[in-house]
Amino acid sequence: MKLFSWNVNGVRAATKKGLFQWLEYEAPDVLCIQETKAHVDQLTSEILTDHGYHASWHSGERRGYSGVATFSKKEPLFVQEGLGIDKYDVEGRVLLTEHEDFLLYNIYFPNGQKDDIRLKYKMDFYDDLLPIINDQVESGNNVIVAGDWNTAHHPIDLARPKENIKTSGFMPIEREKLDGYVDEGWTDTFRLFNNDPEQYSWWSYRMGARARNVGWRIDYFFVNSDFSELCKNADIHQDVMGSDHCPVSLELDL
């Protein structure tokens, strides 16, 4: 079983750049997209139905901002929009879908670069999500958390760690939050299979960063530790264009 996650930086823009041709070619079992920047009433049938996938959407109150969607070949057993916490759910950041063998959280984590208020909002999000997914595991579920986490965890995960130590996305307080997830049994699946440097999933549009591979790895599939035994492979697809992010994937032995 193969899952993909991709921050498309606007689903309508990504569609014009070949999103659904790529989806037809790659044919994953599940695709999670983040930063859709659209409400369903703004979308065409090409995006909503013509691809043949079951599509679930969670959009924020503010149009043209945030938003997530999950496409699956098999209809999910259950769909939940949001975490049930209003201050996050109004921004359309989370979709929970239940599948036969796991729960899947498709998440667009907050960005903390704007100011201290948004940084605290981001830190609160990490803190509030962790007990929710821990409770799911304690209840006997396997859980996958996919999406744009908006934090590079270790120096290997960005091209210029020393220069960005005070930049939101690589600040110690943010990285410590990811440490906390790992300490509580969550596994970064990509690093199960690949410990090479220069493996990035996001590049600034400025100064030809992508062509020079001056990037950050901020898109992840995390799973609970027991479920990691069923992970066959995880990858970053740096050759796929259409956004400032590239897709990341997880293959499961299911």
pLDDT at residue number 214: 98
Q: If you average pLDDT over residues 169-181, what whole number do you get? A: 98
N- to C-terminal Cα separation, the chain: 6
pLDDT at residue number 14: 98
Q: Note the pLDDT tens digit of each residue in 85-109.
A: 999 999 999 999 999 999 999 999 9
Q: pLDDT band at residue 240, thresholds of 50, 70 and 90?
A: very high
Structural domain boundaries enclosing 124: 2-252
Q: Across the chain, what does the average pLDDT equal?
A: 97
Q: Note the pLDDT tens digit of each residue in 7-48.
A: 999 999 999 999 999 999 999 999 999 999 999 999 999 999
pLDDT at residue number 53: 98
pLDDT at residue number 70: 98
- Percentage of the chain exceeding pLDDT 70: 100
124: annotated active-site residue? no
pLDDT at residue number 65: 94
Q: Note the pLDDT tens digit of each residue in 127-160.
A: 999 999 999 999 999 999 999 999 999 999 999 9
pLDDT at residue number 141: 98
DSSP per-residue letters across the chain: -EEEEEE-S-HHHHHHTTHHHHHHHH--SEEEEE-----GGG--HHHHTTT-SEEEEE--SSTTS--EEEEESSPPSEEEES-S-HHHHTTT-EEEEE-SS-EEEEEEPPP--S-HHHHHHHHHHHHHHHHHHHHHHHTT--EEEEEE-----SGGGBS-TGGGTTSTTS-HHHHHHHHHHHHTTEEETHHHH---SS--SEE-SGGGTTTTT-EE--EEEEEEGGGGGGEEEEEE-TT--SSSB--EEEEE--
- pTM, entire model: 0.97
Distance CA 234, CA 188 (A): 10
Q: pLDDT band at residue 200, thresholds of 50, 70 and 90?
A: very high
pLDDT at residue number 97: 98
Spot the catalytic one: 50, 89, 148, 179.
148
Distance CA 126, CA 110 (A): 9
pLDDT at residue number 87: 97
What is the number of domains present in the chain?
A: 1
Q: If you average pLDDT over residues 181-186, what whole number do you get? A: 98
pLDDT at residue number 116: 95
Q: CATH number of the domain that 14 lies in?
A: 3.60.10.10
